């Protein structure tokens, strides 16, 4: 019996999303009929309840600003999602909605590709859903990390170049600098960066944020969020299609 299999992305102001094209290319490559991937741009999360009523909805990704709020609408969480406190992938099976976090998988793959032995401690910039997944990975790998956000003890106004110099992995987890606001940049003491630093900016659009450009001018190794995005998308695909609970 042919049935439609619907997937999509829930978020707010997300017309620029990578996911739709990524999955549509995948359907084409695998010659899958009846699959679709839609953008669900929701001003308020409660509007998602109408989507959940669709029996053809197989699952969906979740992005800013709903990665934490979506948890209240789900029936079950994977171990990672529970520990992280954020969900970016939901699978629906017989009406049961299970939340997963594939950001952690994608970030770990990215980190292990670029990390060198001298990269011993990390600064995490931001404390939203993506930052929580990043912290989970550092904890799992035994890498000490310090979170810097507007509301933490060390914040963007009192973060010093000395502190930056002491933490040789810096992960930029905020949306500051995302298209179309490509001139925006976090207030950050770039003077503390050296050629020994690894800078990972989770933004993928644009390829080179102001943050990455400023960091590379100090000689730091810089990486954007594209590989992490691909990896988390592949993991989501696996969850929707193959993983048995």
Question: Is the domain of 92 the same as that of 173?
Answer: no
Question: Is the domain of 124 the same as that of 75?
Answer: no
Q: What's the total number of domains in the chain?
A: 2
On the question of pLDDT at 230 being above 50, the answer is: yes
Residue 233 lies in a domain: no
Neighbours of 217 (CB within 10 A): 11
Report the interhelical angle of 226-241 vs 103-114 (nearest 10°).
140
Quick one: pLDDT band at residue 245, thresholds 50, 70, 90? very low
Convert the pLDDT of each residue in 141-184 to its tens digit: 999 999 999 999 999 999 999 999 999 999 999 999 998 999 99
Cα–Cα distance measured from residue 86 to residue 224, given in angstroms and rounded to the nearest whole number: 21
Its domain, for residue 172, covers 104-227
Please compute the mean of the pLDDT values over residues 34-50 and round it to a whole number: 95
Quick one: pLDDT band at residue 4, thresholds 50, 70, 90? confident
Residue 95 lies in a domain: yes
Query: Per the residue annotation, which of 6, 20, 67, 235 is the catalytic one?
Result: 67
Question: Is the domain of 54 the same as that of 150?
Answer: no
Of the residues 48, 73, 101, which one is the last residue of a structural domain? 101
Quick one: pLDDT band at residue 17, thresholds 50, 70, 90? confident
Please compute the mean of the pLDDT values over residues 66-89 and round it to a whole number: 97
Question: Is the domain of 83 the same as that of 155?
Answer: no
Quick one: pLDDT band at residue 13, thresholds 50, 70, 90? confident
Is 244 annotated as catalytic?
no
Summary mean pLDDT of the chain: 94
Quick one: pLDDT band at residue 1, thresholds 50, 70, 90? very low
Cα–Cα distance measured from residue 81 to residue 84, given in angstroms and rounded to the nearest whole number: 5
Residue 9 contacts residue 20 (beta carbons within 8 Å): yes
């Amino acid at each position: 019996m042919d049935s439609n299999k619907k997937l999509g992305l829930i978020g707010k102001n997300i017309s620029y999303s990578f996911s739709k094209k990524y999955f549509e290319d995948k359907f084409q490559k695998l010659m899958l009929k009846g699959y679709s991937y839609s953008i669900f741009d929701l001003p308020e999360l409660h509007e998602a309840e109408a989507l959940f009523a669709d029996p053809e909805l197989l699952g969906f990704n979740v992005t800013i600003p709903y990665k934490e709020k979506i948890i209240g609408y789900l029936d079950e969480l994977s171990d990672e999602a529970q520990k992280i406190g954020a969900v970016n992938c939901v699978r629906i099976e017989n009406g049961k909605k299970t939340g997963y976090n594939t950001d952690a998988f994608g970030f770990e793959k990215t980190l292990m590709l670029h990390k060198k032995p001298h990269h011993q401690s990390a600064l995490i910039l931001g404390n939203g859903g993506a930052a929580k997944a990043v912290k989970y990975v550092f904890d799992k790998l035994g890498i000490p990390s310090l979170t810097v956000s507007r509301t933490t003890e060390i914040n963007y106004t009192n973060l010093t170049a000395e502190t930056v110099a002491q933490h040789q992995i810096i992960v930029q987890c905020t949306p500051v600098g995302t298209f179309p606001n490509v001139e925006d940049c976090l207030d950050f003491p770039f003077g503390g960066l050296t050629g020994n630093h690894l800078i990972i900016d989770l933004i993928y659009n644009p390829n080179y944020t102001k943050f990455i450009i400023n960091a590379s001018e100090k000689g730091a190794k810089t990486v954007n969020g594209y590989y992490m995005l691909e990896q988390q998308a592949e993991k989501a695909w696996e969850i929707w299609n193959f993983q048995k609970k």
